Amino acid sequence: MSTSDRALAAFRGLALGDALGMPTQSMSRAEILADHGPITGLLDAGPRQRIAAGMAAGSITDDTEQAVLLAELLVEGDGVVDPVELARRLLAWETRMRERGSLDLLGPSTKAALARLEAGVPADEAGRTGATNGAAMRITPVGIAADASDLKSFVDVVARTSAPTHNTGLGIAAAAAVGAAVSAGVGGASLPEAVEVAIAAADEGGRRGYWVAGGSIAARLRWALPHLASLRPADRETALIDVVGTSVAAQESVVAALALAALADDPWDALCQAAGLGGDTDTIAAMAGAVLGATHGGSVWPTDAIATVEKVNDLALAPLVTKLLALRGRP
């Protein structure tokens, strides 16, 4: 597998996971089973889907849209993201969503941070309470554009990119874990190797930003991976929902996503499983998809599903990935 194949598979994996989780986001496991049964592919939004009501099969949500937004900023800034411009574009994105009648708007941490930025609060203070998964869900472009072999420098980049909205140890650790796993995979690492890099990055990221209460991302990964691996598949799914958790909290959803990726027998099946767990399904499946794509390459994703997602959303990911890879390895 080439670097470009892995990088494109990472971004496509993010979009595929996002689209699989679109019709099930913020629903319970019981509601998902009642509306759709087990998830095996792309579906239209069902009768109980409120956030993405009426959306067609293959539609992406804020996870992919904000990742594309961040990727474009990275390319325009030659690898550097202006926090004020990031805030401006996120607000403009939400305005467009409102005009379309969408309820898929900015998350709680991002919304609060952008309000502070608009009020004149410095960029490094605006995100001091952001402990949800918003930075992690959009970090994949950084994983493609920056090399995690120098982990401290890589986490520096993640921290600068995350700080405007998620400048906390939890928010940065979450983004660092997902971004580093993607970066390691793009660089040629196997899935187990990428997961180890993710845990080390979470350790490093947890020492950045403002302190907020919550379980350590790295510590929870070190506990969750062997525990889940010891369970039968049916019990593993229950543990993911009831013990690890699938909420927007970084220490739940990011740990769930990386655990699903680490224990996946088949990447596509793992994304379908993520979409059926309940909770923040689109984000969990998107993050898992990015890691699995980076470590396995494009052959693991169904070509018909890729074609549907790119057509429905008018996505052109290949040219964007090429531009991101041109930044890789620069200081």
Estimate the crossing angle of helix 83-99 against helix 62-76, to 10 degrees. Answer: 140
DSSP string, 219-260: HHHHHHHHHHHTS-HHHHHHHIIIII--SSBHHHHHHHHHHH
Q: Can you tell me the mean pLDDT for 159-177?
A: 94
Cβ neighbours of residue 303 under 8 Å, at least 6 residues apart? none
pTM of this structure: 0.94
The pLDDT of residue 274 is above 80: yes
**More confident: 245 or 129:** 245
Cα–Cα distance measured from residue 223 to residue 287, given in angstroms and rounded to the nearest whole number: 20
The pLDDT of residue 227 is above 90: yes
Give me the CATH number covering residue 60. 1.10.4080.10
In degrees rounded to 5, what are phi and psi of residue 27?
-100, 160
Q: Can you tell me the mean pLDDT for 4-19?
A: 98
Q: How many helices (H) and strands (E) does the chain have?
A: 18, 0
Q: What is the pLDDT of residues 242-257, one digit of tens each?
A: 999 999 999 999 999 9
Task: Please count the other Cβ atoms lying within 10 Å of the Cβ belonging to residue 23.
Answer: 28
Number of independent structural domains in the chain: 1
Structural domain for 205, as ranges: 3-327
CA distances from 178 to 28, 141, 142, 182, 300 (A): 25, 11, 10, 6, 19
Q: Can you tell me the mean pLDDT for 143-163?
A: 95
- In sign, the C-alpha dihedral spanning 83, 68, 270, 32 is positive
First to last CA, the chain: 25
